[in-house]
Structure 1
Amino acid sequence: MKKLLVVTLLFLAYNSVGYSQTKNKKPNIILIFIDDMGWADLSSFGNTDAQTPNIDKIAREGISFEQFYVNSPICSPSRVAISTGTYPQRWNITSYLDNRKQNEVRDIANWLDPSAPMLARNLQQAGYSTGHFGKWHMGGQRDVTEAPPITAYGFDKSLTNFEGMGPKLLPMTKDETGKIGKIWENAEILGEGYIWMQRSEITTGFVDAALDFISKASEEDQPFYVNLWPDDVHSPYWPPFEEYGLAKEEGKRALYLAVLEAMDQQMGKLFEYIQSEEKLKENTLILFCSDNGPELGAGSAGDLKGYKTHLYDGGIRSSLIVWGPGFIDPSAAGSRNKESVFSAIDITPSLLAFTESPETSMTDGENVMQTILGKSKASRQAPIFYSRPPDRKNYYGLENLPDLAVREGEWKLLCDYDGGRPELYNMSRDRGETKNLADENPKIVKRLMDKVISWYAGMP
């Protein structure tokens, strides 16, 4: 009996070790950032028109979060936020980065300031191998040829697409007749080190590069941080050749769904590898989400209002899945967290705490790691603030869109820069933002309006 008690106490002591350690090794991190995927596009989030079995499997073994927000409804600023833990407005990146002339017209930067705090850099300094595989879109695109390379932001290795500086995979196309084409052929001006391959296979190219990187880090017994940010499921939609012709006949959404299913299949290779290697399975945390809402007529945000570029939840709420059997609370495995509200800027401080790495010099985020691991239902304490992309006042058939938004607790306010035309929604009762309660709650409107206007005025 005494021996059994000792064994039991040792077991309990081992399993109470802090979440930053598994077998005394720093945890591996994989951040998967899908492009333009809607909140309801995964079959585990309600899509009945397409199946995503590989992603659904990690959802069954992990935690799905229903109230996770990215920090912009459009690509580049959303990527800045999750990379830095800060609002992208601080770096003057408030819309997607385009050619030099268009960036100047919209008064936005041509690339992210390399001095910005970076999750990857802090992890690199803490001894991690760091790799970025996929879309970058934070500098180096179109005719912006002198942007810093991705490795200047804290990455040891990178492989990107036509919107980043460094080695690239560039997209070729093949239509139903067998005709071959190229997308963004001028991307060759961004430097040497590119390979042209079929658009429908590029996710596999990024996955293979990430797996090679992970394998080498594992062999060297070194912790790794990997960004896997595919082009999928962004338009133009080029599913595998054998599916393209039929999907094209059925229309835009059919093309999109075919790309979505192909993306899931290609991602399956990564998941299978991590799950089959015991030391990786028990010491790797995967976070999976999208950079913003769906393109009109393609993906779906379910009953959420709005699309990509909108400050309504359809543009900024993302389906987050966290997988890591060695770290998440076993009782939370396979669960759905419908209560906790937090955002992409919270990922950086959370992961730095999780890995016991130095904090960044600046952050707008909060450490919500206990929530991410299913050990708490706490939400972010501070409000989440938004400003719309400057070139998207009218978009996707909606005119005179709100300029600002703030989510605090159960309330969400949208208004113009001067506070005009307020819209107030109770998100716990009306996540579809169907009933404007502004007239009934003037005090709440005033409080939230003052906060979001003050926040915006404080941005560069």
Structure 2
Amino acid sequence: MKRRILILLTLVLCSVLGGCKARKIQGVEKSESSAAVSTLGQPNIVVLLCDDLGYGDLAAFGHPVIETHNLDKLAETGIKLTDFYATAPVCSSSRAGLLTGRSPNRAGIYDFIPGYKKSADNRDLVHLRAEEVTIPQVLKSVGYETCLVGKWHCSSQFNSDAQPQPNDFGFDYWMATHNNAAPSHKNPRNFVRNGEEVGEIEGFSSQIIVSEAMSWLDKRDTNKPFFLEVAFHEPHEPIASPEDLVQKYLPKAKNHEEAEFFANVENVDLAVGRLLEYFETHNITNTLIVFSSDNGPETFMRYERAKKSYGRPGPLKGMKLWTNEAGFRVPGIVKWIGKDTFSGTSDAVVSALDFLPTFAELAGAELPNRKLDGESFVPLLKSGNFEREKPLTWAFYDAINDRRVAMRKGDYKIMARIELDGETLPNLHNLYDGNIEEIKRAKLTDFVLFNLKNDIAESEDISAQKPEIFNTMKTEFKSEYKALLDGSHVWVRQEETN
């Protein structure tokens, strides 16, 4: 109660003074805050993140078969983002970018993080480093309680003192897996709760983690706002789904495996519905919910276990691991429960990089004193208008498609190959001291330009038709890529001492 009174008095004082700035403390910079903090108090913030959910895998985004009533309602009553981007076309990189508001290249997470095994390219060293500042850390600085349930995948040594774990990045409470639920979504046995192995849990992963989230909510301090990340494993392989849902979809599916995929997505939707019902029955309002996916859909049978990967890119080109649109353009939904905001469909260019600065502004928190690639989309919530100032730039060195570097600015997207001494740069999992000089010598070549507003499928290169736009984009693209490469973390193995 005292905290609420203090916050209210602060907001009143800021209003009288015409707006205030957050205090500067060690390691952070000043940020405008008072204008966005709701008169209801700091909002609760919930991130719902799917794994390998494609742009076309929800009914609200055009899937003709899968029923996603709860997510459809969120999109209908909130904001449906048609031009929403994950921070990378692969899992670990995407999650690092979401948590930090920075390109995952700056964190040194260039690809998915495998389990620990010493590697010549220093890939075994890769993890979210302690010096990175995350959303839960920023929100904790202004009184939030924080929780992660589901998938972590930001360290090569999970649940080990050798590398930072979720609690080291501001999560008060966590129950997570390193990567996928194992042996599948059904009855997983690889969850760890606050550093302690849980053992086998009966049920399906999406429902298990929502139950865990609700259990945490039952015990939280109701005088404090909360940040909750629900990181679903679905619909990433190995897929397992409730049999009643599978039977429901069999008549409309190509085979049993596709029916399992359809059921898998609906099971996530049902889990989201349970969480929304919890908020309603417990009268939890003033809660901002964002829903998305970490990257695009997996390609059917790209690897041996991907036999149920029937995700769809919709009208987009590519799939997961591509720098074409389907690799990282994913469903985006924003809904602010208990707050009158803009609602409807928006083609504003929004990224998961924007979560940290947006949440910080809404909570009245200071921004980390470091390079951020995201920007606050609070104006979108207020009026439906958001024009991003910073272009979105991706450099994914292990992309399946040929042009591995891309940038979107406004309606346009430019892409390029990377060549070294006249040859295409080999696919790379990691940047380390053994290859960084070659990467810095490599050049961007063979540019193409697309107008995504008119050509969502990236079907026509318009570089020759729009030479002025092309040359302007090309110049900025080169500059943005160089700045990103110069700011990328390079992994160096320290000499071992006896």
TM-score by length of 1: 0.83
- Counterpart position of 1:264: 269
- Counterpart position of 2:379: 370
Segments of 5+ residues of structure 2 without an aligned counterpart are 1-14, 16-33, 301-309, 419-442, 489-498
Equivalent of residue 446 in structure 2, options 399, 417, 421: 421
Q: One-letter code of the match for 1:411?
A: Y
Alpha-carbon distance in structure 2 between the residues aligned to 1:429 and 1:106: 42
Q: One-letter code of the match for 2:408?
A: R
Matches within 5 A, 1:362-401: 362=370, 363-371=372-380, 373-388=381-396, 390-392=397-399, 395=400, 401=402
SS in 2 for 1:89: helix
Alpha-carbon distance in structure 2 between the residues aligned to 1:311 and 1:319: 16
Go from structure 1 to structure 2 and tell me whether the alpha carbon gap of 1:239 and 1:113 turns closer, same or farther (over 3 Å shift): same
Go from structure 1 to structure 2 and tell me whether the alpha carbon gap of 1:223 and 1:386 turns closer, same or farther (over 3 Å shift): same
Q: What displacement does 1:85 show?
A: 0.6
Matches within 5 A, 1:47-446: 47-101=63-117, 104-105=120-121, 107=123, 109-140=125-156, 146-163=162-179, 171=183, 192-198=196-202, 201-217=204-220, 220-243=222-245, 250-278=255-283, 280-281=284-285, 283-297=286-300, 298-329=310-341, 332-333=342-343, 335-338=344-347, 340-362=348-370, 363-371=372-380, 373-388=381-396, 390-392=397-399, 395=400, 401-417=402-418, 418-440=443-465, 441=467, 442-444=470-472, 446=474
Alpha-carbon distance in structure 2 between the residues aligned to 1:452 and 1:172: 40
Alpha-carbon distance in structure 1 between the residues aligned to 2:184 and 2:325: 34
SS in 2 for 1:422: strand
The answer on whether the counterparts of 1:98 and 1:142 sit within 8 Å (CA) in structure 2 is: no
SS in 2 for 1:323: strand
Q: One-letter code of the match for 1:391?
A: D
- Counterpart position of 2:42: 26
Alpha-carbon distance in structure 2 between the residues aligned to 1:152 and 1:142: 12
Go from structure 1 to structure 2 and tell me whether the alpha carbon gap of 1:456 and 1:356 turns closer, same or farther (over 3 Å shift): closer
Go from structure 1 to structure 2 and tell me whether the alpha carbon gap of 1:308 and 1:374 turns closer, same or farther (over 3 Å shift): farther
Q: Which structure's residues are more often helix, by fraction?
A: 1
Go from structure 1 to structure 2 and tell me whether the alpha carbon gap of 1:107 and 1:171 turns closer, same or farther (over 3 Å shift): closer
The answer on whether the counterparts of 1:110 and 1:144 sit within 8 Å (CA) in structure 2 is: no
Go from structure 1 to structure 2 and tell me whether the alpha carbon gap of 1:344 and 1:243 turns closer, same or farther (over 3 Å shift): closer
- Which digits, 9 at most, give the CA deviation of each residue in 1:399-454, with x for residues without a partner? xx212000011110110232212121011111110001123325245324423432
- Counterpart position of 2:12: none
Alpha-carbon distance in structure 1 between the residues aligned to 2:189 and 2:157: 10
Q: What displacement does 1:110 show?
A: 2.4
The answer on whether the counterparts of 2:183 and 2:238 sit within 8 Å (CA) in structure 1 is: no
Alpha-carbon distance in structure 2 between the residues aligned to 1:236 and 1:76: 17
- Which digits, 9 at most, give the CA deviation of each residue in 1:110-151, with x for residues without a partner? 210021011101111211101111101001558978332210
Go from structure 1 to structure 2 and tell me whether the alpha carbon gap of 1:422 and 1:102 turns closer, same or farther (over 3 Å shift): farther
Alpha-carbon distance in structure 1 between the residues aligned to 2:135 and 2:185: 34
SS in 2 for 1:209: helix
Alpha-carbon distance in structure 1 between the residues aligned to 2:222 and 2:185: 38
Q: What displacement does 1:275 show?
A: 2.6
Alpha-carbon distance in structure 2 between the residues aligned to 1:387 and 1:32: 25
TM-score by length of 2: 0.77
Alpha-carbon distance in structure 2 between the residues aligned to 1:295 and 1:172: 16
Over the aligned positions, Cα root-mean-square deviation in angstroms equals 2.8
Go from structure 1 to structure 2 and tell me whether the alpha carbon gap of 1:207 and 1:415 turns closer, same or farther (over 3 Å shift): same
Go from structure 1 to structure 2 and tell me whether the alpha carbon gap of 1:223 and 1:104 turns closer, same or farther (over 3 Å shift): farther
Go from structure 1 to structure 2 and tell me whether the alpha carbon gap of 1:191 and 1:140 turns closer, same or farther (over 3 Å shift): farther
Matches within 5 A, 1:5-20: 19-20=36-37
Alpha-carbon distance in structure 1 between the residues aligned to 2:230 and 2:416: 35
The answer on whether the counterparts of 2:81 and 2:332 sit within 8 Å (CA) in structure 1 is: yes
Q: One-letter code of the match for 1:52?
A: T
- Counterpart position of 1:9: none
Q: One-letter code of the match for 1:28?
A: N
SS in 2 for 1:147: coil
Aligned length: 415
The answer on whether the counterparts of 1:77 and 1:88 sit within 8 Å (CA) in structure 2 is: yes
Q: One-letter code of the match for 2:287?
A: T
Q: One-letter code of the match for 1:451?
A: S
Q: What displacement does 1:204 show?
A: 1.3
The answer on whether the counterparts of 2:108 and 2:126 sit within 8 Å (CA) in structure 1 is: no
The answer on whether the counterparts of 2:36 and 2:364 sit within 8 Å (CA) in structure 1 is: no
Alpha-carbon distance in structure 2 between the residues aligned to 1:143 and 1:18: 40
Go from structure 1 to structure 2 and tell me whether the alpha carbon gap of 1:353 and 1:203 turns closer, same or farther (over 3 Å shift): same
Alpha-carbon distance in structure 2 between the residues aligned to 1:214 and 1:93: 31
Alpha-carbon distance in structure 2 between the residues aligned to 1:61 and 1:173: 30
Q: What displacement does 1:328 show?
A: 4.3
Alpha-carbon distance in structure 2 between the residues aligned to 1:157 and 1:220: 16
Segments of 5+ residues of structure 1 without an aligned counterpart are 1-12, 175-181
Alpha-carbon distance in structure 2 between the residues aligned to 1:92 and 1:348: 19
Go from structure 1 to structure 2 and tell me whether the alpha carbon gap of 1:459 and 1:102 turns closer, same or farther (over 3 Å shift): farther
